[in-house]
Structure 1
């Protein structure tokens, strides 16, 4: 039995396809979704969304957002979804270095710095993951 995964960014629908299993990068860890999963709404983190399909595994870097699971449909709303093989590890390392050097002397700057660090670390994991 298949589930449908729909990934939407502000620009377009990035993915709309069936999969046998979906792994979501939640803000506090990964969540696996198979057919018949109980409904849920959750906050996404920065990391890899993995779809197990008939043709193999498809992986996307997800840049935060929200996910909803209901009636064997996984709906993902995110600001960016990038195929994992398109992530440049060297660029992600530079982004992490820049994020680590950001100031954090106010709550707002700490929030921006922490988000930049999480994003860069997620991109590094995506770039280093087997594709």
Structure 2
């Protein structure tokens, strides 16, 4: 039996429930590696790649922000979206980044939305490569 359990929940459903030996989370301020016995924590996720090392091999998913909780060798991820990286079209992700860069930013609210759109698109593009 693997050392960790990773559960990913989106607003629609539980997207993933896997056992893993190692989990790497794309946190808002950098990457966080989780092994068995990790101290409990809660943190904000960034837009990037969730990596799992399972008995069947590595798995990678794009995570669309959210929160992560680690407790008792269970990693709970709450996110808006989870996409297997194999399903991300890097050309489309590049187009999304260009579209995000072209968004208006004359008002404070527009600038905030533009920055989030750019971060999401960059995360998808990184995950696809």
Fold shared, TM-score > 0.5 on shorter chain: yes
3-state SS of the aligned residue for 1:104? coil
Q: Which runs of 5+ in 1 are unaligned?
A: none
Q: What is the match of residue 41 of structure 1?
A: 42
The C-alpha deviation readout for 1:38-86, integer Å capped at 9, x for no partner, is 0000000000000000010011100000000000000000000000000
Runs (4 or more) in structure 1 with deviation over 2 Å come to none
- Alignment partners' CA distance in 1, 2:106 and 2:73: 45
- Alignment partners' CA distance in 1, 2:68 and 2:48: 13
* TM-score of the pair, normalised by structure 2: 0.97
- Alignment partners' CA distance in 2, 1:108 and 1:42: 25
Do residues 9 (structure 1) and 33 (structure 2) align? Answer: no
Spell out the pairing of 1:91-110 with structure 2 (5 A cutoff).
Answer: 91-110=92-111
Q: Which runs of 5+ in 2 are unaligned?
A: none
3-state SS of the aligned residue for 2:43? strand
- Alignment partners' CA distance in 2, 1:124 and 1:27: 16
Shift in Å, 1:112: 0.6
Do residues 79 (structure 1) and 73 (structure 2) align? Answer: no
3-state SS of the aligned residue for 2:39? coil
Do residues 32 (structure 1) and 50 (structure 2) align? Answer: no
Shift in Å, 1:12: 1.1
3-state SS of the aligned residue for 2:19? strand
Query: How many equivalent pairs are there?
Result: 128
Q: What is the match of residue 125 of structure 1?
A: 126
